[in-house]
Amino acid sequence: MYIPSISPYALKIGPFAVHWYGIFMALSIAAGAYYMYIKARELDYNEDFLVNLLVIVVIFGVIGARLMYVLANSPEWFIKDPVQILKTYQGGLSWHGGILGGFLSGFYYCRKKGVRMNPLADYAVIGLAIGNMLVRIGNIFNQEVLGRSTSFAFGRWPAQLVGVTMGIILLVRYFYIERKHMPYGYQFWSFIFYYQLMRGLIEETVRDNPLFIHAYLNKNWGIGFFTLTQIVTPFILILSFWMMKRVLNDPENKKN
């Protein structure tokens, strides 16, 4: 969706500005952190540990998301304009970088404290799904993550709404799977699997991203292959599928 009349600012007074993108991101982080905290406390996780974990994961998640985005899209900023790297409020965060930064920092902290991570990773799915919905709405206000132009009556694919729909599907799926009492860790890795599958096959196909390999481009339909995300999709699917099988076969992950 491209709506030039929409302002990216929720509030602007002189040089001070609050972006809708930042508000939606903050809301998704708050919702995800609250859900994880409540569910983890039910399993008797230490309160101080949880607060520290959430702070660490959020900080390194944002750092990872920004660095991955800049590396993939504007690597010259590292040399020519490093200040741009800090302007996360203008948009420009990589979902994959956020997951990687948050997961690795959380894994390190849990291992250091001798705490099980799989239940916490499962509870993080709520925040990830909500974040995918709200941040994509923020993308509309920032006029980014646009779909390709087509010859169809609607003119341009609503790529942001495709992302919102994916988030809704994955959120509903979480609560459906939760009723099945699957082993800890399954929710997280299956979320990664199905998110990447939908993104690689659907969102990236209609999203106006540059083609890393020019295998196919139909300008009338507004679809194309292969973006960088589509290229890495098979590797992420293999990893997440392997991890799903691993947690299913590990007796330590069984729920009571």
Question: Residue positions in the annotated binding site?
Answer: 136
DSSP-derived secondary structure letter, 215:
S
Tokens of 118: 């799989």
Single-letter residue type at 243: M
HEC profile for 70-89?
A: HHHHCCCHHHHCHHHHHCHH
Single-letter residue type at 50: L
Environment class of residue 169 by beta-carbon count within 10 Å: exposed (0-12), middle (13-18) or buried (19+)? middle
Classify each residue of 172-206 as buried b or exposed e, where b means 16 or more C-beta atoms within 10 Å of its C-beta. ebbeebeeeebbbbbbbbbbbbbbbbbbbebbbbb
- 13: enclosing H helix or E strand: strand 9-13
Tokens of 222: 């507004």
